[in-house]
Amino acid sequence: MKKREGLKKEISKMSTEIKAPMTGKIVSIAVCAGDKVSAEDEVIIMDAMKMEIPVYAPEDGTIKEIKVKEGDSVKTDQILMTLD
């Protein structure tokens, strides 16, 4: 039986994707990559059907990556940002 040294069990948490709830345009982004957010914090405001639609963080975490910029047109379920 060989003795194995240096083995580490790595537990990784998958990122949470924040997606567009509907087709629209990005009006403003309220966070930057690296910002810590709490569940229900407003992270993006979209314009859809002549209404401003807030997009909220689904859980506590840190903004890992923002995949859109202000003025971008997005489709329903398009990934807007990822949360760790």
Q: Is residue 23 part of a domain?
A: yes
Of 27, 75, 80, 76, residue with least CA distance to 56:
80
Q: Is residue 5 part of a domain?
A: no
Q: Is residue 21 part of a domain?
A: yes
Mean pLDDT value across residues 48-77: 96
Mean pLDDT value across residues 42-58: 95
pLDDT of residue 6: 43
- Structurally, how many domains does the chain consist of? 1
Q: What percent of the chain has pLDDT over 70?
A: 85
Q: What are the φ and ψ backbone dihedral angles of 70, each rounded to 5 degrees?
A: -60, 135
Where residue 28 sits, what CATH number does that domain have?
2.40.50.100
pLDDT of residue 13: 59
Query: 57: Cβ–Cβ under 8 A, 6 or more apart, which residues?
Result: 18, 37, 38, 39, 40, 41, 43, 83
pLDDT, tens digit (0-9, with 9 covering 90-100), for 6-38: 433 343 458 899 999 999 999 999 999 999 999
Interatomic CA distance for residues 59 and 19, integer angstroms: 13
Q: Is residue 26 part of a domain?
A: yes
For residues 20 and 76, the answer to whether their CB atoms sit within 8 Å is yes
pLDDT of residue 42: 97
